[in-house]
Structure 1
């Protein structure tokens, strides 16, 4: 496989973490000695195709409570465009990502979640608003499964880790897993998938945020997330990819207040 493809796939696997081989009670029991997590949180930053993973989670009964989290942030305009293209018969409520995904979940799968969080604008208040919503509904938890767009999955978990005890399992299950081939084409089609340039731009932006230095989001920088150790090989790969691809910058419109 080409060097660029290997580098993209390495970043994608690092950022798009999945701590389970599949969403099932058997997998949870084998990995965490539980049959259900207390909460499964699906985040609206995902591509439209990620809703299939949410539906899978609900049908597999991997959690006691299901929440969709997401107001209006940097991915929302793309989500609305994809949703309208893929589901032309639906009249979307475009006030929040959570409501859009809830409509698709109901229309395509006949399923519903327990709660919607509709005010958050970024990964940081995705987490704080989720925790406030659970507290307001008296939902205590000792385990959570987080499901976000594969580009942002690891940072979402690192943000949650600032607020929960180390003994609480925070289980990653990225909304999709994707690879590119030697032609830098995705090896499997996914509904609403980012263009390659956008996907790599998002990954490069994430790696900068995950790097615990003065410009990153870790304790040595903005202190939005817990420390993440980024392997040197990934830093090298990112530096080389930045010669070919742009890097997503933070959008100040959606910064935390």
Structure 2
């Protein structure tokens, strides 16, 4: 399936109160379901952090692992794919991480996240050294299907049999990634717990847009340019549809079946029609 690309000039036409509402409707669906991190079964819980240019996800995982008093197994997943350069850019423009920008160039996404972790969460480097953090690396996968396959391969190879597995992903890819893990881990006795955050576009009275997460305004360097964000979420809906051209069982068979609520389909159609007529 070819990538959906929305030109910035066309996206501007969607940035009305109704358009932003539809964007947030589609985005919220793709970011769900999401389960809060916990340690209710610490000895059998695994965290899989999937590479993306949205560093907020990595920060949430590293903060949680840092605060945990229990031993944790963490899988970092991601090779070099078509959007890996965006991760390099995200590091280079980030006020905290930019000093290591030259060191992440050409690294697989999993290795970028590992470097961020040991450089900026020194207590996690200590946990690696004393064995309270077990780190597994998949730096081969280049899409969410391969993320699930390679994560399972890493766990099986190291004899790790999780009862609970947190899947941490970019909000725009969360729903599809969860469906991929459902397919790959089908038959395993493991509870899959996707985690992501819920970004919202906020439209000001003067027509400018800003990002908000859980009521907190986000800096531009932390999330997406609006045109890329709209391209990503509009491109996801056709992929996760369970029809002849989608990725579900009735199409390519890459993911488990996903039910898309009618209100999400309607919001997607309005946005798509508005872009086509712009």
Count how many residue pairs are aligned between Structure 1 and Structure 2. Answer: 237
Q: Deviations for 1:3-51, whole angstroms, at most 9, x for unmatched residues?
A: 212111111111112432x3233xxx4xxxx456521000002512322
- Whether the 8 Å CA contact 1:208–1:216 is kept in 2: the answer is yes
Q: Please name the residue that 1:41 is paired with.
A: 48
- Whether the 8 Å CA contact 1:23–1:60 is kept in 2: the answer is no
CA distance in 1, matches of 2:27, 2:67: 26
Q: Determine which structure has the larger strand proportion and give its number.
A: 2
Q: 2:136 aligns with which of 115, 125, 141?
A: 115
2:210 is paired with a residue of what secondary structure? coil
- Whether the 8 Å CA contact 1:209–1:217 is kept in 2: the answer is yes
Q: Which runs of 5+ in 1 are unaligned?
A: 247-257
Q: Please name the residue that 1:4 is paired with.
A: 19
TM-score (norm 1): 0.84
For the pair 1:100 / 2:128, whether they are aligned, the reply is: no
Pairwise mapping of residues 120-131 of structure 1 onto structure 2 (< 5 A)? Answer: 120-131=141-152
1:118 CA displacement: 0.4
Structure 1's 166 and 102: CA in aligned 2 closer, same or farther, altered over 3 A?
closer
TM-score (norm 2): 0.78
Structure ID, larger Rg: 2
Q: 1:14 aligns with which of 29, 34, 42?
A: 29
1:159 is paired with a residue of what secondary structure? helix
Q: 1:133 aligns with which of 154, 174, 183?
A: 154
Q: Please name the residue that 2:5 is paired with.
A: none
Q: Please name the residue that 1:229 is paired with.
A: 259
CA distance in 2, matches of 1:130, 1:220: 25
CA distance in 1, matches of 2:75, 2:108: 14
Q: Please name the residue that 2:93 is paired with.
A: 85
Instruction: Give structure 1 regions of 4+ aligned residues with deviation exceeding 6 angstroms.
Output: none
Q: Please name the residue that 1:189 is paired with.
A: 218
2:49 is paired with a residue of what secondary structure? strand
CA distance in 1, matches of 2:107, 2:162: 28
- Whether the 8 Å CA contact 2:22–2:268 is kept in 1: the answer is yes
Pairwise mapping of residues 175-254 of structure 1 onto structure 2 (< 5 A)? Answer: 176-183=197-204, 184-187=209-212, 188-190=217-219, 191-245=221-275
1:93 CA displacement: 5.0
Structure 1's 4 and 238: CA in aligned 2 closer, same or farther, altered over 3 A?
same
CA distance in 1, matches of 2:29, 2:178: 13
CA distance in 2, matches of 1:146, 1:224: 17
CA distance in 2, matches of 1:163, 1:205: 23
Q: Determine which structure has the larger helix proportion and give its number.
A: 2
1:205 is paired with a residue of what secondary structure? helix
CA distance in 2, matches of 1:138, 1:125: 20
